[in-house]
Structure 1
Amino acid sequence: MGAVVVNRAVLAGGVGVPYAEVGGAAGVPVVFVHAYVESWRYFEVVLGQLPDRLHGYAPSLRGHGDADRPEAGYSPGDFAADVVGFMDVVGIDRAALVGTSSGGLVSQVVAGSYPDRVSRLVLISSPASLGDKAAVDGMWAEISGLEDPLDRGFVTDFVRGTAPGAMSEDFVEMLVEESLKAPARVWKETLRGLLDYDARASRDRITAPTLLICGDEDLFVRDDQQLLLEAIPSARLRLYRGAGHAVHLTQPTRVVSDITEFLSES
């Protein structure tokens, strides 16, 4: 396990994104894709536990964290193109992709649209879609009216509502600070893009071996896992008993172990 180093990459279109990196040049490249209004720091604990044989990269997507905030480009397809553009900049021809929550939806688009760039796919607490979820419709009713500066209480409630409860106060505060960095228009445009996007066409083209990880108490996306199993060839599911959403935040050691085992298979 090496030290996590933070660098910055400028994509072909001029958008600058920070990214965390850990591991040596000889390690298997693994690109982590964070969820809605998050940043690379949501992977900080996971990155710190990666074994030396994996080389981890975790970029903050455009508009999120300390990345540049262009006026447009906040659909899942745009984010997917940015992930591939990031790989180009840092010199990765092919990588394993790990997406969490709505970052799993973006990762499905990458794996289906750019299959030659993805060696293996890990989807953690990932939906099959978001537009069919009543809870997200309610979320949109609130977020569509957001204005800058964002209300810290609202963002705190959002983080607590979408992340596991068993987190320290200091950790929650760090996550809140990261989510506050995204301006109101990014909150709105990104969520609208996620709600409107139909990932079925991309998902049908996924060829990479795929591991699904989900908590059996994750009411948000638990039922989606069967749909993903049926839609993605060679997909398998690892269900965490007694766990809810975003298990990488509360069970990082187990998640790292499962990812490492999966990526080590021939």
Structure 2
Amino acid sequence: MAGVTAHRAVLGGGRPDLPYARTGRSGDGPPLVLVHGYADSWWAFEPVLRALPAAVRAYAPTQRGHGDADAPEEGYLPEDFADDLVALLDHLGIERAVLVGGSSGGVPARLVAGRRPDRVAGLVLLGTPALLADKPAATALWETVRTLEDPVDRAFVEGFVRGPLAGRVAPGHLETLVEESMKLPARVWRETLRGLLETDLAATLTGILVPTLVVWGDRDPLLTRADQQLILDAVPDSRLLVHEGAGHLLYGEDPERVARELTAFAAAPRG
């Protein structure tokens, strides 16, 4: 089990400063870089980071507008988050990484994998949608989010965080997730979801040639097996792992298993 330390990346060049967590020792192999989803922060991965072996080096940034990251007035398209991710790799001196996207955090991760394969050794998608605009739950969420005003209603945030769960999440961690989501201004809730809904997510699956692991909980109320199959069909070197009984936040519901799977994937030989 590894210790987790918190840092802040000053990216410069007009980019926002991003907090990030780090764990593990420096080594020769590519590190894990864990990318959280909509309205989360690096804390979404805290249980996984703590469950990783000390020999596994991992980083988990907080994306722009989320948590304690800088929140510029604009720049909340998936492409903006992907560009920040490459800038963070540069800042940290990481030539190649295994990118791990949780939920919608898999969208910028797969954009980087498809456009900058020289920087990506592998890709893991944890409960990441293939498509989003086709899902009634997403369009229903937009009807609420588009009318949000500051301060964002806590009852809405608690429902957003707890709704997709199927298994048990440690109560303290669940409360942390709510508190982190409460930090988002209404405009970040709005513009980030708008970007996800208006982007052609099918196009973000093209050109991914790196080894890819798709992980899905079979009690996920948002994502079906058919949705995950679209990712498998689009990405040549991909395979599926199913967490039986897990919901959308499978890395919060079973962090030890996810840590084992990430460790094994990162250690697999690369072509």
Normalization by structure 2: what TM-score?
Answer: 0.95
Q: Distance in 1 between matches of 2:6 and 2:86?
A: 19
Determine the structure 1 residue equivalent to 2:110.
Answer: 108
Task: Confirm or deny: 8 A CA contact 1:203 1:232 kept in the other structure.
Answer: yes
Q: Secondary structure at the match of 1:20?
A: strand
Instruction: Show the 5 A alignment for 1:11-26.
Output: 11=11, 12-26=13-27
Shift of 1:52: 2.6
Determine the structure 2 residue equivalent to 1:78.
Answer: 80
Determine the structure 2 residue equivalent to 1:8.
Answer: 8
Aligned residue among 232, 243, 246 for 1:243: 246
Which stretch shows the higher mean deviation, 134-143 or 7-16? 7-16
Shift of 1:110: 1.4
Which stretch shows the higher mean deviation, 249-258 or 198-207? 198-207
Which stretch shows the higher mean deviation, 219-228 or 81-90? 219-228
Aligned residue among 236, 256, 260 for 1:257: 260
Task: Confirm or deny: 8 A CA contact 2:132 2:201 kept in the other structure.
Answer: no
Task: Confirm or deny: 8 A CA contact 1:213 1:239 kept in the other structure.
Answer: yes
CA distances 1:119-154 after superposition (whole Å, capped 9, x unpaired): 000000110121111110000000100000111111
CA distances 1:96-129 after superposition (whole Å, capped 9, x unpaired): 0000111112211111121111100000011012
Determine the structure 1 residue equivalent to 2:237.
Answer: 234
Q: Distance in 2 between matches of 1:25 and 1:265?
A: 18
Q: Which runs of 5 or more structure 1 residues have no equivalent in the other structure?
A: none
Q: Distance in 2 between matches of 1:91 and 1:146?
A: 39
Task: Confirm or deny: 8 A CA contact 1:28 1:53 kept in the other structure.
Answer: no
User: How many percent identity over aligned positions?
Assistant: 50
Determine the structure 1 residue equivalent to 2:184.
Answer: 182
The AA in structure 2 aligned to 1:200 is A
The AA in structure 2 aligned to 1:80 is A
CA distances 1:148-202 after superposition (whole Å, capped 9, x unpaired): 0111111111111134452243322111100000100000000000001113333
Q: What number of residue pairs does the alignment pair up? A: 266
Q: Secondary structure at the match of 2:31?
A: strand
Normalization by structure 1: what TM-score?
Answer: 0.96
The AA in structure 1 aligned to 2:148 is L
Q: Secondary structure at the match of 1:211?
A: strand
Instruction: Show the 5 A alignment for 1:155-234.
Output: 155-222=157-224, 223-234=226-237
Determine the structure 1 residue equivalent to 2:99.
Answer: 97
Whether 2:126 is the aligned partner of 1:127: answer no
Q: Secondary structure at the match of 1:8?
A: strand
Shift of 1:241: 1.4
Aligned residue among 55, 58, 61 for 1:56: 58
Shift of 1:2: 2.8
Q: Which runs of 5 or more structure 2 residues have no equivalent in the other structure?
A: none
The AA in structure 2 aligned to 1:191 is L
